A and B are shown apart, each in its own frame.
Chain A
Amino acid sequence: MNLFKISIANLKEKKLNSFLSALLLTLGIGMISLLLLLNKQLDEQFKRNLKGIDMVVGAKGSPLQVILSSIYQIDAPTGNIPLAEVNALRKNPFVKTVIPLSMGDNYQGFRILGTTPKYVEHFSAKLAEGHLYNASMEVTIGSKVARDSKLKIGDQFSGSHGLDSEGEKHEDKKYKVVGIFQPSGTVVDQLIITRLSSVWDIHAHSEGANVPAVAEVEHSDNQTHVDPEPDEEGKEVTSALIQFRNPMGLITIPRQINDNTSMQAALPSIEINRLFSLLGVGIETLRTLALIIISIAGVSVFISLYNSLKDRKYEMALMLSMGATRTRLFLMLLIEGLSLAVIGFFAGIIASRVGLWVFSQSAEQDFHYSLGKFALLPEEIYLFFGALAIGVVAAALPSLGIYRLNISRTLAEE
C-alpha cells in the first residue's frame, strides 16, 4: 500500500473523467510537440538546401516561385531565360559561381535537372556507385530516386514532359543511369541530374529520322571532359543559382538584373523569411489553439478532482480519523493530477510522432521530402515540466480543501 497505489486506484475508479482530462492534455501536448517537430524539420530542410546560395535568377514572375522551384524543386518554374544573359553574370567581379539549371521533365515524379558539375559540388553530393554523368543523356540519380523508382546503373528510361508523372513521354530518347549518389539529406536525393545539353537534346525537334535511342557519345571516365561552363548561342535555361564573392554583391547586383535584363533576381534569405512569416500566422494560430486546449485540460483536471473530492469528503474524513495526516492526503490528490499530466504528456508525444509520420508520408508523396526525425526535442523537456506544472496547479487548488475539512462534522453528517 502506498499513496501512489491509492491515487491510481482513484483515477481508475473515475475512468471517464480521467480519460477526458488525459485526452485533452494529450491533444494539447501533441499539437505543440508536432508544431515543434515540423518547425524544426522544415527549418532544417530549408536551411540545408539554402546554404551558400545568395541569389537565384529566373524568368520574371513571383520571386518566391523562382526560389521554390530552383532551390527546393517544389514549385513550377516561372519560365526560361537566355543562357547568354546568365553567362554574362560571370563577368561581374562580385559573382563567385553561377550554376545554370534547366528542368522541365520528370521520371515517375522525380525531376530531371540539367546542370553543370558545380551543382553537384555545391551540395557536396558523393557517389555511392557508378560515376558522374559525363555525356548527354547520361544521368546520375539521387538516393531516394534509386530507392523508389528501382532504377539501377545501366538502366534506361524515358522522361515525361512536365513536372508530374502524368506528362507525355519522350519515348524516342532514353536516358541512361550511370551513377547513384549517396543520401545527403539535401534536394539532390530526389533529383535525376544530367548535363544541360541532355535537356536541350531532348527538346530539340530533330527532323532526322535516324536518331539513336540513346545518344551515342564518346565515353570517358575522366570527368574533366564535361564542359564546365557551357555557353551556347540561343540556348535557354530555367534559372541559375548564384554565389557572391562578398556581400557587396547583394546590394548592387539584384537591382542591376531586375532593371537591365529580361531576368529577375530573387534573394532566398528574403523570400524564405517571407514564406515563414506567411506560414507563421498559421503556426501561431495552431499554437494558440494548442495552448487553449492545454488550459482546458487543466480546468478539466481541476473540475474532475473538485467533484470527486466532494464525493469523497467522507472517505477523506475517514482516512484522517484512521491516522492519515492532511499533508499525506494532499499529496495523494496531487499524485492524481500529476499522473494525468504524465500520461497526457507521453500520449501527446507519441501522438505527435504518429502525426509527423502521417505528414511525412504525404510530404514524401507530394514533394519527395521526408521529415522522419522522431527523437525527443529539447523544447519537449520544457513541455514536460509545463504539463507537470499544470497537473500540480489543477490538482492543488481543489485539494487545499483537505486542510479545511472538519472530520467530526463530515463523519456525523452521513
Chain B
Amino acid sequence: MISSNQLRFSYSAQKKFSFPDIHCNDKETLLILGQSGKGKTTLLHLLALLLTPEAGDVVIAGKSVKNLTPQEITATRAKNIGIIYQRPHFVSSLSVMDNILLSNYLANQREDRQKARHLAEQLGFVDHLSKKTNQLSQGEQQRVSIARSLMNNPNIILADEPTSNLDDDNCQRVIQLLKKQSAQIGASLVVVTHDQRLKDEFSNQVFL
C-alpha cells in the first residue's frame, strides 16, 4: 500500500511542482498519466524515496517515511519497493541471472536462484539467464527488469514509462505481465507514463 499527501518539490524557484494526492491499496493498480515536463519522474522518485519532498508525506505499507534516516530510507526502499525504469539499466558486466540476484544481495536478502529461474520462466527469458544483459532485446530487457523488481517480494511496484520504448506487442505483453505479477504477490502497482496505449488497461487513473 502506498499513498502520498500534499507532496511538493522544487528544483528551483521557477521549477516548482505540487502533486495531487495518490493512493493505491495492496493488489490494486494505479496509472498516473501526464505529458512531458509535468513532473512524472519527479513524482515517481518522490514515491520511490529517491528524492525528499519539500513538503508533504509518503506512506509506505502504512508507515510514514517522514522522519527516517537515510539508512532507514534505503532499507525501506530495498525491502518494500520494486522500481522499473523507463530504459532498463543493468550492471553490464554481470549476467542476466546475476543482475536479478543483485536485488537480493543489495537488500541483504538470501539469494533465491529458484525464484529467479521461476520468474524467468514466467516472463519468458529463461533461455537468456547466462547471457549478458546487452545481448537481449529491449522487450526482453524490460521483462528482466520486471523480474528484478519482484525478487524481494515488494509491497509496491513503481514503473516509470515501462512501455514507452516498446512496440505494441511488447507493450501489451509487458503491461499484462506487470499486472499479473504484482497481483500474484499482492503488491500495489503504480505506473507513471505518457503512453496513451495504457489508458484502457487501468481503472484507477490520476492526471498530472
Which of A5, A12, A322 is the one whose CB lies under 8 Å from B107? A322
Is chain A's interface secondary structure helix, strand, loop, or mixed overall? helix
Q: Kindly list chain A residues whose C-beta atoms are within 8 Å of the C-beta of B91.
A: 6, 9, 315, 318-319
Closest CB in chain A relative to B72 CB, distance in Å: 12
Cα of A322 to Cα of B77 in the assembled complex, Å: 7
- Decide: A323 near B74, CB < 8 A? Known: A1-B102, A408-B50, A414-B87: yes
The yes or no answer to A92 lying at the interface (CB within 8 A) is no
- Decide: A322 near B41, CB < 8 A? Known: A6-B94, A414-B89: no
Which of A10, A320, A322, A412 is the one whose CB lies under 8 Å from B93? A10
CB pair B93 A314 closer than 8 Å: no
Q: Which residues of B in the span 74-126 have a Cβ within 8 Å of any Cβ on A?
A: 74-75, 77-79, 83, 85, 87, 89-94, 98, 101-108, 111
Q: Kindly list chain A residues whose C-beta atoms are within 8 Å of the C-beta of B106.
A: 319, 322-324, 328
The yes or no answer to A13 lying at the interface (CB within 8 A) is yes
The yes or no answer to B27 lying at the interface (CB within 8 A) is no
CB pair A315 B74 closer than 8 Å: no
Q: Kindly list chain B residues whose C-beta atoms are within 8 Å of the C-beta of A312.
A: 92
- Decide: A323 near B51, CB < 8 A? Known: A1-B111, A314-B89, A315-B91: no
Cα of A2 to Cα of B101 in the assembled complex, Å: 11
Cα of A16 to Cα of B145 in the assembled complex, Å: 29
Q: Kindly list chain A residues whose C-beta atoms are within 8 Å of the C-beta of B103.
A: 322-323
Closest CB in chain A relative to B146 CB, distance in Å: 14
Q: Kindly list chain B residues whose C-beta atoms are within 8 Å of the C-beta of A62.
A: none
Closest CB in chain A relative to B124 CB, distance in Å: 23
The yes or no answer to A407 lying at the interface (CB within 8 A) is yes
Which of B41, B77, B89, B101 is the one whose CB lies under 8 Å from A412? B41
Closest CB in chain B relative to A25 CB, distance in Å: 21
The yes or no answer to B48 lying at the interface (CB within 8 A) is yes
CB pair A322 B78 closer than 8 Å: yes
The yes or no answer to B8 lying at the interface (CB within 8 A) is no
Q: How large is the interface on A (under 10, 10 to 19, 20 to 34, 35 or more residues)?
A: 20 to 34
Which of B41, B48, B79, B87 is the one whose CB lies under 8 Å from A321? B48
The yes or no answer to B173 lying at the interface (CB within 8 A) is no
The yes or no answer to A411 lying at the interface (CB within 8 A) is yes
Closest CB in chain B relative to A11 CB, distance in Å: 8
Closest CB in chain A relative to B14 CB, distance in Å: 17
Q: Which residues of A in the span 1-60 have a Cβ within 8 Å of any Cβ on B?
A: 1-2, 5-6, 9-10, 12-13
CB pair A321 B93 closer than 8 Å: no
The yes or no answer to B23 lying at the interface (CB within 8 A) is no
Q: Kindly list chain B residues whose C-beta atoms are within 8 Å of the C-beta of A322.
A: 78, 102-103, 106-107
The yes or no answer to B45 lying at the interface (CB within 8 A) is yes
Q: Kindly list chain B residues whose C-beta atoms are within 8 Å of the C-beta of A414.
A: 87, 89
Which of B79, B94, B108, B111 is the one whose CB lies under 8 Å from A9? B94
CB pair B93 A318 closer than 8 Å: no
Q: Kindly list chain B residues whose C-beta atoms are within 8 Å of the C-beta of A6.
A: 91, 93-94
Q: Kindly list chain B residues whose C-beta atoms are within 8 Å of the C-beta of A2.
A: 105
The yes or no answer to A149 lying at the interface (CB within 8 A) is no
Residue interface mask A312-336, B partner, CB < 8 A = 1: 1011001111111100100000000
Which of A5, A13, A323, A412 is the one whose CB lies under 8 Å from B92? A13
Which of B50, B93, B108 is the one whose CB lies under 8 Å from A323? B108
Residue interface mask A342-383, B partner, CB < 8 A = 1: 000000000000000000000000000000000000000000
- Decide: A9 near B107, CB < 8 A? Known: A323-B78, A411-B85: no
Closest to A324 in B: B106
Q: Which residues of A in the span 272-331 have a Cβ within 8 Å of any Cβ on B?
A: 312, 314-315, 318-325, 328
CB pair B45 A411 closer than 8 Å: yes
Closest to B48 in A: A321
Closest to A311 in B: B92
CB pair A319 B89 closer than 8 Å: no
Cα of A314 to Cα of B85 in the assembled complex, Å: 11
Q: Kindly list chain A residues whose C-beta atoms are within 8 Å of the C-beta of B41.
A: 412
CB pair B75 A315 closer than 8 Å: no
Cα of A323 to Cα of B107 in the assembled complex, Å: 5
CB pair B93 A12 closer than 8 Å: yes
Closest CB in chain A relative to B192 CB, distance in Å: 12
Closest CB in chain B relative to A116 CB, distance in Å: 73
Q: Kindly list chain A residues whose C-beta atoms are within 8 Å of the C-beta of B108.
A: 323
Closest CB in chain B relative to A306 CB, distance in Å: 17
Closest to A315 in B: B91
CB pair A315 B77 closer than 8 Å: no
Q: Kindly list chain B residues whose C-beta atoms are within 8 Å of the C-beta of A315.
A: 89-92
Closest to B101 in A: A1
CB pair A321 B98 closer than 8 Å: no
Q: Kindly list chain A residues whose C-beta atoms are within 8 Å of the C-beta of B107.
A: 322-323
- Decide: A318 near B89, CB < 8 A? Known: A1-B111, A323-B108, A408-B51: yes
Residue interface mask B60-83, A partner, CB < 8 A = 1: 000000000001001101110001
6 chain-A/chain-B pairs, Cβ below 8 angstroms:
A1-B104, A10-B93, A315-B92, A321-B50, A322-B103, A414-B87
**Other than the known A323-B108, A408-B51, what 5 A-B pairs have Cβ atoms closer than 8 Å?**
A6-B93, A6-B94, A321-B48, A322-B106, A323-B103
Give me the interface of A with B, judged by CB distance under 8 Å: 1-2, 5-6, 9-10, 12-13, 312, 314-315, 318-325, 328, 407-408, 411-412, 414
8 A-B pairs with least C-beta separation: A323-B78, A13-B93, A9-B93, A1-B105, A323-B107, A323-B106, A408-B50, A322-B106
